[in-house]
């Protein structure tokens, strides 16, 4: 089962996983002198503001991903990059520590997945462009065709997958790529009942809110730094506020993110001090509760069908777009160089998924450790002590700061983060600062 001259590919879903798969397929096919027809089925209007155009995400792009994309000729234009981040500020109940980018060039970009938060359409013309639209347009430039319809049914005709939409007769393809994300159960159900043994990955609900503060307030209160909060709130695993032009994006990750938890977050003094005095949560900020992957899928490929992106395997709690990029590239390489049978995907695509899954296991372990720091004031003080020590040692190796930077940005694997965190020097410093903080009075907040 090979893709040859004139073969056809259907991609269900035009988020990053779908469009990047199309881009890599078409680039590689051109190099191999194979003419390929690629159809991207995507009903969302990425040029629209609010939920109509948005694929619900924090919109942080790691530096390593931007560099990778640049080497592949995918250069994010200034209209897509809303802001750049060059530091993280870690806030605890007692103090704050600043973590600079390990190197000057290691900046992080923030983007909007659609054309901007709900309500931003009042600013005309919009000063920014959707990240997903940029990728979709690039795929179209490379020769893909965009069908603005949702896939509502799948069937097999003479062994080939056939795609059903409400607007056109069914079309059969040599390969079907499932890039439908994890946010709508009925879309995943289509693939689960397609008969290749696929079961969707395990997920939980997260929270994203776009808070309108105005560019000046964003600059004066947040600067070019992501603000990460180590709060002892049950079920909360990660909380951050990221500057994005006129907006501040709030991301909450955990097991059961609900309205009372969000309220509790906003009431925390360490959060209030990052926001303007007297600022009240808007009655209806642009917010959503998307699904986030926390466990693996079952059998995400079969003959002439393969899942990519969130519907397959992602990185735990970070760098989902980076993971989508990695799987899209591997999927294209497998399909064009090796073939599109179940065996081909098992041999040449699945190892990349397995690599991410192994790394995620370490991620789960690190988040379990993180829980210890959240719940113990003593450990929190020890941790902040080490970060401050490293800050004063500028020019020397700062393994713990580097591990934190990579955790928040997604710039490195959990394996590398664990290696940095568990270095004997880090453990020794942690032990020393924790022990010495036992004899210190509680400190007031301060950066
Ligand atoms: C709270 C939160 C914060 C996050 N923050 C970040 C971050 O800062 N950085 C980062 O890298 N990642 C982040 N992620 C992860 C990131 O959003 C995902 O990993 C990424 O969007 C996956 O891309 P995808 O293309 O697989 O899926 P999606 O982006 O969900 O795209 C799926 C697409 O498929 C389309 N579709 C669905 N069903 C059909 C159908 N039946 N027919 C046709 N089209 C269909 C949808 O309209 C959609 O456009 C975050 C996730 C969450 C939940």
Q: How far is the CA of 332 from the centre of ligand 1 (A)?
A: 19
Domain boundaries, the chain: 8-46+130-201+294-360, 80-122+207-289, 376-437
Q: Is the pLDDT of residue 395 over 80?
A: no
pLDDT band at 169 (very low <50, low <70, confident <90, very high): very high
Tell me, in angstroms, the distance from the centre of ligand 1 to residue 206's CA: 13
Question: Average pLDDT of 106-122?
Answer: 84
For 400, phi and psi rounded to 5 degrees? -70, -40
Q: What is the pLDDT of residue 44?
A: 96
Going from the Cα of 144 to the center of ligand 1, the distance in angstroms, rounded, reads 20
pLDDT band (50, 70, 90) for residue 35: very high
Residue located via tokens 């809303």 = 82
Q: What is the pLDDT of residue 103?
A: 61
Task: Write the CA distances from 205 to 16, 131, 235, 241, 253, integer angstroms.
Answer: 20, 23, 11, 18, 8
Kindly give the number of the ligand 1 atom that is closest to the alpha carbon of 253.
Answer: 1
Q: Which CATH architecture has domain 80-122+207-289?
A: 2-Layer Sandwich (3.30)
Q: Which atom of ligand 1 is nearest to the CA of 13?
A: 34
How remote is the CA of residue 46 from the centroid of ligand 1, in Å? 12
Q: Residue 64: pLDDT band by 50, 70, 90 thresholds?
A: confident
236-292 tens-digit pLDDT: 888 999 998 889 999 999 877 888 899 899 999 999 999 988 888 776 778 899 999
Q: What is the pLDDT of residues 326-341, one digit of tens each?
A: 999 999 999 999 999 9
Phi, psi of 160 (to 5 degrees): -100, 140
Q: List Cβ neighbours of 284 (8 Å cut-off, separation of 6 or more).
A: none
Average pLDDT, the chain: 90
- Helix or strand (DSSP H, E) at 310: none
Cα–ligand 1 centroid distance for 122 (angstroms): 26
Strand segments, DSSP code E, in 167-297 are 171-172, 175-178, 203-205, 207-212, 225-229, 236-244, 247-254, 286-288, 291-293
Q: Output 40 or 88, whichever has higher pLDDT.
A: 40
315 CA distance to ligand 1 centroid (A)?
13
Q: What is the CB < 6 Å shell around ligand 1?
A: 12-18, 41-44, 55, 57-60, 150-151, 179-181, 183-184, 187, 206, 208, 251, 290, 292, 309-310, 314, 319-322, 324
CA distances for 425 relative to 73, 324, 343, 444, angstroms: 40, 35, 46, 28
Of 157, 149, 197, 153, the residue nearest 174 (C-alpha): 157
Atom 38, ligand 1: residue with shortest CA distance: 180
The predicted pLDDT at position 142 comes to 97
The protein residue with its alpha carbon nearest to ligand 1, atom 12, reads 320
Task: Name which residue leads in pLDDT, 255 or 443.
Answer: 255
State the distance from the centre of ligand 1 to the C-alpha of 355, rounded, in angstroms.
21
In this prediction, residue 446 carries a pLDDT of: 39
Ligand 1, pocket-test mutation among 45, 190, 321, 323, most atoms within 8 A of CB? 321
Distance of CA 304 to the CA centre of its chain: 27
Does 42 score more than 70 pLDDT?
yes
pLDDT tens digit sequence for 154-165: 999 999 999 999
Testing ligand 1's pocket by substitution, the residue of 48, 58, 289 carrying the most ligand atoms inside 8 A of its CB is 58
CA 20 to chain centre: 14
Is residue 442 scored above 70 in pLDDT? Answer: no
- Please give the distance of CA 187 from its chain centroid, rounded to a whole number: 20
> Given a cut of 50, is residue 147 above it in pLDDT?
yes
pLDDT for 279 equals 81
Cα separations in angstroms, 212 against 15, 51, 118, 234: 25, 16, 10, 27
Per-residue confidence at 447, pLDDT binned at 50, 70, 90?
very low
How far away, in angstroms, is 114 Cα from ligand 1 center? 11
Spatial distance between the Cα atoms of 96 and 327, rounded to a whole number of angstroms: 37
Q: What percent of the chain has pLDDT over 70?
A: 95
Residue 323 clears pLDDT 90, i.e. is over it:
yes
User: Which ligand 1 atom sits closest to the C-alpha of 319?
Assistant: 11
Q: Where are the beta strands (DSSP E) in 17-82?
A: 37-41, 60-61
Backbone angles phi, psi at 13, to 5 degrees: 115, 125
Residue with tokens 């710039």: 411
Domain 8-46+130-201+294-360 has CATH 3.50.50.60: yes
DSSP for residue 199: B
pLDDT band, residue 401 (cuts 50/70/90): confident
What is the atom index within ligand 1 of the atom nearest the CA of 293? 53
């Amino acid at each position: 089962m090979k893709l040859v001259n004139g073969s056809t590919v259907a991609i269900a879903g035009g988020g990053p996983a779908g469009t990047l798969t199309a881009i890599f397929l078409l680039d590689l096919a051109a190099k191999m002198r194979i003419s390929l027809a690629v159809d991207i089925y995507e009903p969302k209007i990425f040029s629209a503001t609010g939920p109509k155009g948005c694929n619900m995400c924090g919109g942080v792009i790691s530096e390593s991903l931007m560099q990778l994309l640049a080497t592949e000729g995918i250069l994010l234009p200034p209209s897509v990059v809303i802001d750049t981040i060059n530091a993280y500020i870690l806030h605890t109940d007692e103090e704050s520590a600043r973590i600079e980018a390990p190197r000057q060039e290691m900046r992080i970009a923030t983007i909007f997945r659609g054309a901007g938060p709900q309500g931003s359409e009042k600013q005309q013309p919009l000063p920014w462009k959707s990240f997903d639209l940029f990728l979709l347009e690039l795929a179209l430039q490379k020769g893909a065709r965009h069908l603005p319809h949702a896939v509502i049914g799948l069937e097999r005709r003479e062994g080939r997958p056939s795609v059903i939409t409400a607007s056109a007769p069914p079309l059969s393809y040599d390969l079907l790529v499932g890039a439908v994300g994890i946010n709508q159960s009925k879309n995943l159900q289509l693939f689960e009942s397609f008969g290749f043994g696929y079961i969707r990955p395990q997920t939980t609900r997260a929270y994203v809110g776009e808070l309108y503060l105005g560019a000046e307030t964003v600059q004066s209160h947040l600067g070019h730094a992501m603000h990460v909060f180590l709060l002892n709130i049950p079920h909360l695993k990660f909380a951050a506020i990221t500057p994005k032009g006129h907006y501040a994006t709030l991301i909450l990750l955990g097991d059961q993110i609900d309205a009372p938890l969000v309220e509790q977050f906003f009431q925390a003094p360490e959060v209030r001090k990052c926001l303007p005095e007297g600022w009240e949560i808007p009655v209806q900020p642009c917010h959503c509760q998307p699904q986030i992957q926390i466990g693996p899928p079952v059998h995400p490929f079969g003959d002439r069908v393969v899942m990519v992106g969130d519907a397959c395997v992602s990185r735990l709690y970070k760098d989902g777009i980076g993971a989508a990029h990695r799987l899209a590239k591997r999927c294209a390489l497998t399909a064009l160089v090796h073939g599109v049978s179940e065996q081909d995907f098992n041999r040449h695509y699945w190892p990349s998924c397995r690599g991410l899954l192994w790394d995620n296991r370490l991620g789960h372990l690190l988040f379990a450790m993180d829980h210890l720091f959240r719940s113990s004031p003593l450990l929190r003080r020890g941790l902040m002590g080490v970060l401050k020590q490293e800050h004063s040692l500028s020019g020397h190796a700062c393994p713990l700061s580097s591990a934190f930077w990579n955790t928040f940005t997604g710039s490195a694997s959990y394996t590398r983060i664990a290696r940095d965190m568990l270095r004997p020097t880090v453990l020794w410093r942690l032990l020393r600062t924790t022990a010495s903080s036992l004899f210190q009075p509680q400190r007031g907040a301060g950066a």
